A and B are shown apart, each in its own frame.
Chain A
């Protein structure tokens, strides 16, 4: 097995194009497990660790995000530990999700680019990216850059929209305009793959609600009907402006709609029925917490 170590992004893209048999490796927390279990025997490993640009993040004004506000350009190789330390204010949902990943060792190595590369339905980064309306920037030597909305990125169980000659450059995540929450159920209190997970984001700037469901469908997915329902109810009651209390039962009804959007299975980690049930509880609680945060937001005076 060859070990390719490009030191620039251009060289990495060139290597990606030349060696279809290579597997890219960032933190290696998925790739090395696969190699150790003999699930993969690639001709080469394409180590992205020396491409320093992948490990940087920056705030960009008015770039790609849906709302036109500022966006965090998160290099594909930024490890979870740095997201937790640096980006809690700008990307609260992703930072909360990052905090639930594995153990300290895994959070030091593992990256969002790698999570997207693996595209597991249980990947913790995915729901908050969906809820925030993130866009994935991928690139190939031959065709240059392509921007794929997170909603279109996951194409099947552990499959994504990446072409064979492409690498993930960055994730463009709108800076949070309102509260975000991430909840993850696992059968122990740390170091656990999600049995089910839910992310939600309030977008008061565009009077919208974002959602992301994890581990309860073949791919991470949004709950569009639940989003429209909640945003609509808030709108019609004038609550975006008044920041009044949530009407009785609204969060519960939202939770039920989130659960309905899932198509979970029974497996060794949990039953389909429990997954659905837990989603409805998490979505209800997350919406309640997010709304309470919105009501107490110091920016409300402005």
Chain B
């Protein structure tokens, strides 16, 4: 059952489940009219800026703000002393000061805030704050940070989490053994809309914050503690979000803008530029991975051992959960009877690392896929075949002992990508833009070698390890001007992925109405959970579906009552109450009258469980999503330049609620994975970021990203609403390793680090 959604472009006006309904924000974004958080404006607002530490590690001996206060136009200068509540925030552990008090632990850590009538005035005033730093030695090598005698970044030590996983026979041996060391550089989310928010002080002494974020309620919880205010007084509203990819899970301007607003009594806007953005959010953990596979002579895996170290940087953020994924999912979608995995997250004085699309699986996939190729070569089996031989199937147990209880089409996905037509051979007189280096005119074909690589992955969907992962939806149905209108209200963040379209599609499908209003996202309704872990279509989608069902039940009960019929035989469709054989029994307007029917529902997916601390065994995850990629690259092996010629993929999405949006996620995710393989790296030396700008932090352009063949499978997950499976992350995980494999195939080098730089390919 394979559908090529890439060619299914028809859109029924109804825009129900399975249609490529148009995004309500689409035209606005394309025409530049969409209001992003950076466009927020309030007539009497002032601007807030952040003074950040220039040092990766220092003691603050004192802060003198007198000179800054004398700058005309300045309305407030705040330091740690001005934080009314706990001076500590954090996603999982509140270990990060709102403003540094005694120590700064990474370059870019916020130290003071200034509000002024103009952002430039605020910046100049911030430059006049005198911070007396005693510079301390910085711990910047995560492997060194693990040593007993390493200086601790925090008390008691530098270990954030050690995940230990043991399964099967620890002393088993195998006739074929392959191993490798792999290193993954630090990737940035590089969302195009830098951090921004507007805090408006309210008459009740509280504050309203309009902000670009991924999870309003987790922000609110941390803000209440820092501001020392109850949640009724700290109200959040989602502003236009220009991408997120995990980089907005932690707080940025939130508390800072509110502190300034509450102090000045004026609305305060804070907007980072690109450079500050690189210091204003967490990055993807750089990783050091040591992997070993033992196999039978035919390539069947006997055991796997892995040791993974993730550099968490200066604060915990979501490092523990990333370690959870890097450990429990770190060996890929393979059947392996005997396993020993140790995954570590450590503190250093490097930039804090946390959530990014693919969350711990991305780093691991580079290692296990490179090693799988190596194993294939050593035993003399084709690289597709070895993955199919070892690939998980439905009913298998993964390395934590969890049964995979819905589709696990590893072999099929690989077959599909390997059967897709290959790109044409290079032409005799190719357009420069089709060659490595493009119009840089570095080759006309000289030195160019083609390579093909494959990779496959699986990723957990939703929050794992026992987290209470729920979403709230409020749905209201009423007649407005003679037309039925459904209003759907969730706090689930739309970050560009298309959740609001999905919410509309679900309401249309469940309630049979055309018009669906998406209420602005805010904390006036219960939590929608995080827009991360590929979870919103599943969890918030599930909540919207459940809320619609509750509304529908009320409506049908009323109809049954007034029609004198059994509820069981009634349906709601096209604003009509319809009987068992499709006969129209009443109009929705007749049933509703002037009333509105409104229901609020909390939806939870099946519970997950903590893993055993000794063995790492347990049902840690709720759902798994699978994808495979085939990359075809042309490499100028003399200059080390790469042109990705094709990047084709197959993915099981359970059910494509919005097929165009699914393909969009797959395109974007694949580009982001390829970016890590070939160019995207935050270069950090001695704790200092050396390329905090898009001049030198390179992300793929249209000339780097090939057109894609995308094959979407829809094997419904019986446990999920509509059978959906999370879509957003798998492409980011399997694309990069496929590209890296293709480059290795072309140049014949081992390439055990990404991003692969030209000098790695040329060996110079």
Chain A interfacial positions (CB closer than 8 Å to B): 36-38, 96, 99-100, 181-193, 195, 268-271, 273-274, 276-278, 281-282, 285, 289
Tell me whether A281 and B440 are in contact (CB under 8 A): no
Q: Provide the residues of chain A in CB contact with B11, threshold 8 Å.
A: none
CB proximity to A under 8 Å, residues B146-171: none
Task: Check: B234 CB closer than 8 A to any chain A CB.
Answer: no
Q: List 11 A-B contacts (CB under 8 A).
A: A100-B439, A100-B441, A187-B641, A187-B758, A188-B698, A189-B440, A190-B704, A192-B440, A268-B683, A268-B691, A274-B764
B611 to chain A, nearest CB (A): 40
Chain B interfacial positions (CB closer than 8 Å to A): 123, 273, 275, 433, 436-444, 446-447, 638-641, 643, 678-679, 683, 690-691, 695-696, 698, 700-704, 757-759, 762, 764
> Binding site of A, secondary structure by majority: helix, strand, loop or mixed?
mixed
Q: Point out the residue from A37, A96, A274, A285 that lies within 8 Å of B758, measured CB to CB.
A: A274
Q: Provide the residues of chain A in CB contact with B762, threshold 8 Å.
A: 274, 277-278
Tell me whether A189 and B438 are in contact (CB under 8 A): yes
Q: Provide the residues of chain A in CB contact with B437, threshold 8 Å.
A: 183-186, 189
A300 to chain B, nearest CB (A): 21
Q: Point out the residue from B436, B683, B703 that lies within 8 Å of A190, measured CB to CB.
A: B703
Residue of A nearest to B694 (CB): A191
Tell me whether A183 and B442 are in contact (CB under 8 A): yes
User: In the docked arrangement, what's the CA distance between A183 and B447, Å?
Assistant: 15
User: In the docked arrangement, what's the CA distance between A189 and B704, Å?
Assistant: 6
Tell me whether B441 and A281 are in contact (CB under 8 A): no
Q: Provide the residues of chain A in CB contact with B275, threshold 8 Å.
A: 37
User: In the docked arrangement, what's the CA distance between A184 and B641, Å?
Assistant: 11
Q: Provide the residues of chain B in CB contact with A271, threshold 8 Å.
A: 759, 764
B689 to chain A, nearest CB (A): 10
User: In the docked arrangement, what's the CA distance between A99 and B757, Å?
Assistant: 24
Q: Which of A38, A186, A276 has the most CB of B within 10 A?
A: A186
Say yes or no: A182-B441 contact (C-beta < 8 A), given A38-B123, A195-B758, A277-B764: yes
A37 to chain B, nearest CB (A): 7
User: In the docked arrangement, what's the CA distance between A269 and B698, Å?
Assistant: 10
Say yes or no: A185-B639 contact (C-beta < 8 A), given A99-B439, A100-B439, A190-B702: yes
Q: Point out the residue from B441, B444, B698 that lies within 8 Å of A192, measured CB to CB.
A: B698
Tell me whether A183 and B698 are in contact (CB under 8 A): no
B583 to chain A, nearest CB (A): 60
User: In the docked arrangement, what's the CA distance between A278 and B638, Å?
Assistant: 8
Q: Provide the residues of chain A in CB contact with B273, threshold 8 Å.
A: 36
B412 to chain A, nearest CB (A): 33
Tell me whether A187 and B698 are in contact (CB under 8 A): yes
B30 to chain A, nearest CB (A): 17
B636 to chain A, nearest CB (A): 9
Q: Provide the residues of chain A in CB contact with B695, threshold 8 Å.
A: 193
Q: Provide the residues of chain B in CB contact with A100, threshold 8 Å.
A: 439-441
B442 to chain A, nearest CB (A): 5
B472 to chain A, nearest CB (A): 42
Tell me whether A268 and B690 are in contact (CB under 8 A): yes
Residue of A nearest to B702 (CB): A190
Tell me whether A281 and B639 are in contact (CB under 8 A): yes
Tell me whether A96 and B441 are in contact (CB under 8 A): yes
Return the 9 tightest CB-CB contacts between A and B, nearest first.
A274-B759, A277-B764, A189-B438, A189-B703, A190-B703, A184-B440, A190-B701, A268-B690, A188-B698
User: In the docked arrangement, what's the CA distance between A28 and B436, Å?
Assistant: 30
Tell me whether B439 and A278 are in contact (CB under 8 A): no
Q: Point out the residue from B442, B446, B447 that lies within 8 Å of A184, measured CB to CB.
A: B442
User: In the docked arrangement, what's the CA distance between A269 and B681, Å?
Assistant: 11
Tell me whether B757 and A185 are in contact (CB under 8 A): no
Q: Point out the residue from A37, A185, A269 that lies within 8 Å of B641, measured CB to CB.
A: A185
Q: Provide the residues of chain B in CB contact with A38, threshold 8 Å.
A: 123
A243 to chain B, nearest CB (A): 20
Tell me whether A269 and B696 are in contact (CB under 8 A): yes
User: In the docked arrangement, what's the CA distance between A192 and B436, Å?
Assistant: 13
Tell me whether B701 and A191 are in contact (CB under 8 A): yes
Q: Which of B438, B440, B639 has the most CB of A within 10 A?
A: B440
Q: Point out the residue from B436, B444, B639, B640 that lies within 8 Å of A189, measured CB to CB.
A: B436
Tell me whether B444 and A281 are in contact (CB under 8 A): no
Q: Provide the residues of chain A in CB contact with B691, threshold 8 Å.
A: 268
Say yes or no: A187-B440 contact (C-beta < 8 A), given A192-B698, A268-B691: no
Residue of A nearest to B691 (CB): A268
User: In the docked arrangement, what's the CA distance between A195 and B444, Å?
Assistant: 19
User: In the docked arrangement, what's the CA distance between A184 and B444, Å?
Assistant: 13
Q: Provide the residues of chain A in CB contact with B679, threshold 8 Å.
A: 187-188
A24 to chain B, nearest CB (A): 22
Residue of B nearest to A99 (CB): B439
Tell me whether B441 and A184 are in contact (CB under 8 A): yes
Tell me whether A185 and B764 are in contact (CB under 8 A): no
Q: Which of A181, A188, A191 has the most CB of B within 10 A?
A: A188
Q: Provide the residues of chain B in CB contact with A96, threshold 8 Å.
A: 439, 441
Tell me whether B758 and A188 are in contact (CB under 8 A): no
Tell me whether A278 and B758 are in contact (CB under 8 A): yes
Q: Provide the residues of chain B in CB contact with A192, threshold 8 Å.
A: 440, 698
Known: A181-B441, A183-B441. 13 other contacts (CB 8 A): A100-B441, A184-B440, A185-B437, A188-B701, A189-B440, A190-B701, A190-B704, A271-B764, A274-B762, A278-B758, A281-B447, A285-B442, A285-B446
Q: Provide the residues of chain B in CB contact with A184, threshold 8 Å.
A: 437, 440-442
User: In the docked arrangement, what's the CA distance between A254 and B757, Å?
Assistant: 26
User: In the docked arrangement, what's the CA distance between A185 and B641, Å?
Assistant: 8
Tell me whether A289 and B444 are in contact (CB under 8 A): yes
Q: Provide the residues of chain B in CB contact with A183, threshold 8 Å.
A: 437, 440-442
Tell me whether B439 and A190 are in contact (CB under 8 A): yes
User: In the docked arrangement, what's the CA distance between A189 and B446, Å?
Assistant: 17
Tell me whether A282 and B442 are in contact (CB under 8 A): yes
B755 to chain A, nearest CB (A): 8
Tell me whether B758 and A185 are in contact (CB under 8 A): yes
User: In the docked arrangement, what's the CA distance between A273 and B763, Å?
Assistant: 10
